[in-house]
Amino acid sequence: MLKQPPGGELPPSPPDPGVASPLNFKEAVRDKSSDKHGDDEFDEWVKRLTKIAERPWKVKDDENLRPMVPAEEEALAAWAMGALVLDAPPAFLVCTHTFAQRVAFLNFFEAHLEGVIATVIPPHVRMPKHVAEKTLLAQLAISEKENTPGHIQTRNLIRQVKRADYNDATRRITFVVKDKIQADSWHRKSIQFR
């Protein structure tokens, strides 16, 4: 039996070695930018889940599906929360989920995870009515002088793009990138286009 002090409160118990210690002020305010261990651990986790999610599988009939293993469940959850950035829904879905469920995952991916960058082409820039995606990206690649910040920015955009489309009626180019965070990073930026 524990003895209670006169104030009616129990004395603080010694820390349990099996439980994480409570945060202290020094831990809360310390500069974590120099702590690369946490970043390395996260990068390894992302690489492991990406490898699991992108591994090719043979498509199975809806009647012959297998259950997901815990690593696949973790990869699916990370992808759905946006922590794992993929070009498409995880590949293992073809042997763990029905066709209708895979279509729902694809719709979710396009609606909630992919980002869209819409740009307006100024009136003084001549554009044909119909432009192929490759031509559009090639014109974008050569529009800036090499080794300038704009050139580096343009190259980064081209690497991120999954689809590009030009609409002559609105004079807009729409780029679809695989992550909303990447799309948001282009807010209020401009690229020279010739």
Q: To 10 degrees, what angle do helices 149-160 and 133-141 make?
A: 160
The CA distances from residue 173 to 29, 56, 86, 115, 170, in Å, are 44, 33, 23, 14, 9
Return all residues near 47 (Cβ < 8 A) that are at least 6 apart. Answer: none
Of the candidates 21, 63, 74, 192, the one whose C-alpha atom is nearest the C-alpha of residue 122 is 192
Q: What is the pLDDT of residues 64-77, one digit of tens each?
A: 899 999 999 999 99
- Assess contact for 55 and 61: CB atoms under 8 A: no
* Confidence (pTM): 0.60
Neighbours of 38 (CB within 10 A): 9
Largest CA distance in the chain: 87
Q: How confident is the model at residue 127 (pLDDT cuts 50, 70, 90)?
A: confident
**Residue 157 has what pLDDT?**
85
Q: How confident is the model at residue 188 (pLDDT cuts 50, 70, 90)?
A: confident
CA 64, CA 192: separation in Å to the nearest integer? 53
Tokens of 63: 């009647």
**Residue 48 has what pLDDT?**
94
Q: What is the pLDDT of residues 136-171, one digit of tens each?
A: 888 888 887 888 877 888 888 888 888 899 998 999
Residue linked to tokens 């799309």? 183
Q: How confident is the model at residue 33 (pLDDT cuts 50, 70, 90)?
A: low
- Assess contact for 173 and 121: CB atoms under 8 A: yes
- Assess contact for 151 and 142: CB atoms under 8 A: no
Q: What single letter denotes the amino acid at residue 3?
A: K
